[in-house]
């Protein structure tokens, strides 16, 4: 059981597949529109259960608990072999025929 | 209250009216025409007021840097006597790391003046962090609604970082899967909270960018003893080019050529779940640049204050690979590590400089902050994981969503012109479609000519093709 006041992430389904706006492309129309939001858990809850949270602005949001103390997963990726030599190449071009 | 999609969308006009606190109706001249300059003037924000408000929160007065090594490289590739001096406006020095702080500064100030308790913005870009940062400074609450994930839950690294930045400034961030119904969630937030709609496209937001144009004119004069010959602006929703050009003109730079530059993402559908993560730029691209030029009033306010066709003298596109290459060039030759999307205008300026005489000055109008996610390595890693081919070669061979080609040599960088008359024709067709009239009044004609900068022949041709007459002249 996850304790109240824990920083968590919830997910809400906003529109089911089939209820999407008429202008969305076919591939998108086949998927639901969902939303993720973070906040502090209001009452004890467990992963996957419907819970309530208080958001950063103080709103109460309801949704399925999907993560506890959610972390940022984005980073700098892997080194890109196609970009690694660019600096050296450009500096060499800059130094070519210098002084002319 | 009925909060179904249809019910909320049908309350759109009312919700917007409450949330913007600006009466657009009084500028309407006909079903088609409105008085744009009167609308801009009605904000009460002239250049002096904009600068004063921005000064209160440390926005603006960013450095203008001369790119000596990149200029030198451009001259090596250019014919003798050619290769304009390249200056760069380092907008990453703003409090939230991009020029968007200028827009947010005025919107949030206005929200506070009008007594709103908070602000809401629908944006997946740098504007979210800008609004969140300004709201923190002014003591207002802030909600940012973002389009982040495809249906598999894979997020664009660039947008994940922008969401993190918003949260760092204390904002509540609502992160959605792909789809235009983000607007529905945005409307619900405005209705539920009663907060201000800090839209990118209000006259306040656009007035906030005018200071950028003014600073470019002043700093170029101070560094180069002349006004800029060309200013290159990364173009997406149209606000950047509109506000910058207005500020340049107000500062006497009336002959400066304004060039819009976007990353070419043609062929990718912006609302498609499958295409969402096949694009490696989430802003500054043609997926916004073309639709917002050809129909500005698709935005989240009744009348968009960003009217890019009024101000662009030329519109060029560059490829994703060229922008990543220019980003590497800026870091390695000039010692400035900045976010990739903002370097769209740098990639174009490097090419354009080579066709301008040495004495001339070309200004790259912005940079943006870089960091985890908002970085060539992060964005190219995401692309590679999506199955996109990345290789060295000639960028002209690349196909958005399938391949990204990092130029083998700087001489392979180029710009492709997006013909303004095609955009103007498309704008006029969209305008005619929006009202379905049989005849255009003189006021309609004057408005369409000013808003698109088409000539009367082009307007007449398109009107005739669409079965619309033009009212006889009074003379």
Query: Do residues B415 and B351 lie in contact, with contact meaning Cβ atoms separated by under 8 Å?
Result: yes
Question: Which residues on B lie below 8 Å from A62 (Cβ)?
Answer: none
C-alpha–C-alpha distance, residues B341 and B240, integer Å = 13
Test the A interface: residue of B164, B271, B322 with most A CBs within 10 Å = B271
Computed over every residue of chain B, the mean pLDDT equals 96
Residues of B in contact with A23 (CB under 8 A): 180, 271
Which one of B272, B377, B406 has the shortest CB-CB distance to A77? B377
Q: What is the pLDDT of residues B20-45, one digit of tens each?
A: 988 899 999 998 999 999 999 999 99
For residue A77, the chain B residues in CB contact (below 8 A) are 157, 375, 377-382
Neighbours of B375 (CB within 10 A): 24
Range list of β-strands (E), B235-388: 257-263, 314-318, 361-364
Instruction: Looking at the complex, report in whole angstroms how far the Cα of residue B472 sits from the nearest Cα belonging to chain A.
Output: 38
Are residues A77 and B331, on separate chains, in Cβ contact within 8 Å?
A: no
- A55 CB within 8 Å of a chain B CB: yes
Query: DSSP class of residue A87?
Result: H
Residue A99 confidence (pLDDT) above 60: no
ipTM of the complex, rounded to two decimals: 0.95
Q: Does A49 touch chain B (CB under 8 A)?
A: no
**Residues of chain B below pLDDT 70:** 473-475
- Residue B377 at interface with chain A, using a CB cutoff of 8 Å: yes
Residue B7 contacts A where some CB pair is shorter than 8 Å:
no
For chain B, what's the residue count? 475
Per-residue pLDDT reduced to its tens digit, B97-127: 999 999 999 999 999 999 999 999 999 899 9
Of A27, A58, A90, the CB nearest to B329: A90
pLDDT confidence of residue B1: 87
A78 vs B76, B175, B377: nearest CB: B377
Q: What angle is formed at CA B209 by the lines to CA B341 and CA B450, rounded to 5 degrees?
A: 100
**Å from A56 to nearest chain B CA?**
5
Nearest to B237 by CA among B298, B280, B181, B278: B298
pLDDT at B282: 85
Cβ <8 Å between B377 and A24: no
How deeply is B394 buried, as exposed, middle or buried, from its count of CB atoms within 10 A (0-12, 13-18, 19+)? middle
Please tell me whether residue B263 adopts helix, strand or coil conformation.
Answer: strand
pLDDT digits (tens, 9 = 90+) for B371-410: 999 999 999 999 999 999 999 999 999 999 999 999 999 9
The band of A100, judged by pLDDT with boundaries at 50, 70 and 90, is: very low
CA atoms of B146 and B158, how far apart (whole Å): 12
Q: How far apart are the first and last CA of chain B?
A: 55
CB contact under 8 A, A36 and B379: no
DSSP-H helix ranges across B376-466:
376-385, 420-435, 442-452, 456-465
Query: Min CA distance, B170 vs chain A (Å)?
Result: 7
Residue B413 C-alpha from the chain's centroid: 23
A74 closest CB neighbour out of B76, B157, B167:
B157
Instruction: Using alpha carbons, list the distances in angstroms from residue B473 to B87, B445, B451, B465.
Output: 47, 10, 20, 20
- Chain B residue at shortest CA distance from A72: B164
Distance CA B21, CA A93 (A): 56
Cβ–Cβ below 8 Å for B179 and A38: no
Rounded to the nearest angstrom, the minimum Cα separation between A64 and chain B is 14
- Contact between chains at A72 and B193 (C-beta distance less than 8 A): no
User: Hey, is the C-beta of A62 within 8 angstroms of any chain B C-beta?
Assistant: no
Between A and B, how many CB-CB pairs are < 8 A? 158
- Chain B hits for A24, CB-CB cut-off 8 Å, are 179-181, 271
pLDDT at B474: 58
Closest by CA position to B316, among listed B407, B396, B414: B414
- Closest-CA residue to B271 (of B159, B422, B151, B374): B151
Question: Is residue B302 helix, strand or coil?
Answer: coil
Distance from CA of B376 to the nearest CA of A (A): 8
- Tell me which residue of B133, B158, B162 sits closest to B145, measured CA to CA: B162
Structure tokens at B123: 């944006």
What pLDDT sits at residue A98?
65
Q: Is A92 exposed, middle or buried (0-12, 13-18, 19+ CB in 10 A)?
A: exposed
Segment A22-68, tens digit of pLDDT: 999 999 999 999 999 999 999 999 999 999 999 999 999 999 999 99
pLDDT value, residue B300: 83
Interface test with A, best of B132, B174, B401 (most A CBs within 10 A): B174
């Amino acid at each position: 059981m996850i304790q109240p006041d824990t920083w968590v992430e919830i997910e809400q389904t906003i529109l089911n597949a089939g209820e999407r706006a008429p202008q969305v492309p076919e591939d998108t129309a086949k998927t639901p529109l969902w939303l993720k939001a973070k906040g502090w858990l209001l009452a004890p809850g467990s992963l996957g259960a419907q819970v309530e949270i208080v958001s950063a602005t103080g709103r109460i949001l309801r949704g399925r608990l999907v993560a506890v103390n959610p972390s940022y997963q984005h980073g700098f990726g892997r080194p890109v072999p196609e970009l690694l030599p660019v600096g050296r190449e450009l500096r060499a071009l800059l130094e070519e025929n210098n002084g002319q | 209250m009925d909060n179904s999609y249809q019910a909320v969308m049908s309350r759109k006009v009312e919700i917007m009216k409450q949330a913007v606190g600006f009466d657009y109706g009084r500028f309407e001249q006909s079903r088609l025409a409105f008085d744009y300059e009167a609308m801009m003037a009605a904000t009460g924000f002239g250049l002096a007021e904009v600068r004063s408000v921005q000064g209160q929160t440390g926005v603006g007065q960013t450095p203008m840097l001369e790119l000596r090594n990149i200029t030198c490289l451009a001259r090596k590739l250019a014919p003798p006597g050619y290769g304009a001096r390249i200056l760069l406006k380092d907008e990453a020095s703003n409090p939230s790391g991009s020029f968007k702080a200028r827009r947010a500064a005025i919107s949030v100030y206005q929200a506070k003046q009008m007594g709103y308790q908070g602000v809401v913005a629908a944006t997946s870009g740098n504007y979210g962090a800008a609004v969140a940062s300004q709201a923190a400074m002014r003591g207002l609450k802030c909600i940012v609604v973002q389009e982040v994930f495809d249906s598999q839950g894979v997020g664009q690294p660039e947008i994940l970082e922008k969401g993190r930045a918003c949260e760092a400034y204390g904002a509540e961030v609502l992160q959605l899967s792909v789809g235009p119904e983000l607007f529905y969630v945005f409307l619900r937030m405005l209705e539920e909270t009663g907060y201000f709609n800090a839209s990118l496209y209000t006259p306040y937001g656009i007035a906030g960018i005018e200071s950028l144009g003014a600073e470019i004119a002043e700093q170029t004069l101070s560094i180069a003893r002349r006004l800029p010959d060309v200013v290159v602006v990364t173009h997406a929703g149209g606000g950047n080019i509109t506000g910058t050009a207005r500020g340049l003109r107000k500062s006497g730079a009336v002959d400066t050529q304004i060039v819009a530059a976007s990353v070419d993402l043609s062929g990718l559908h912006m609302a498609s779940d499958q295409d969402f993560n096949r694009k490696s730029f989430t802003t500054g691209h043609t997926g916004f640049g073309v639709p917002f030029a050809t129909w500005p009033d698709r935005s989240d306010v009744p009348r968009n204050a960003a009217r890019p066709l009024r101000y662009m003298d030329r519109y060029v596109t560059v490829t994703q690979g060229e922008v990543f290459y220019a980003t590497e060039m800026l870091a390695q030759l000039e010692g400035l590590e900045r976010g990739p999307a903002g370097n769209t205008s740098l990639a174009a300026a490097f090419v354009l400089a080579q066709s301008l005489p040495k004495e001339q000055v070309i200004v790259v109008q912005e940079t943006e902050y870089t960091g985890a996610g908002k970085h060539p390595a992060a964005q190219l890693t995401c692309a590679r994981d999506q199955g996109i081919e990345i290789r060295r070669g000639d960028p002209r061979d690349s196909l958005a969503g399938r391949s990204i080609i990092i130029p083998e040599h700087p001489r392979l960088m180029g710009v492709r012109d997006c013909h303004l008359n095609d955009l103007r024709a498309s704008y006029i067709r969209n305008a005619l479609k929006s009202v379905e009239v049989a005849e255009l009044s003189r006021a309609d004609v004057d408005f369409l000519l000013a808003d698109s900068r088409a000539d009367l022949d082009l307007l007449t041709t398109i009107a005739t093709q669409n079965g619309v007459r033009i009212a006889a002249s009074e003379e």
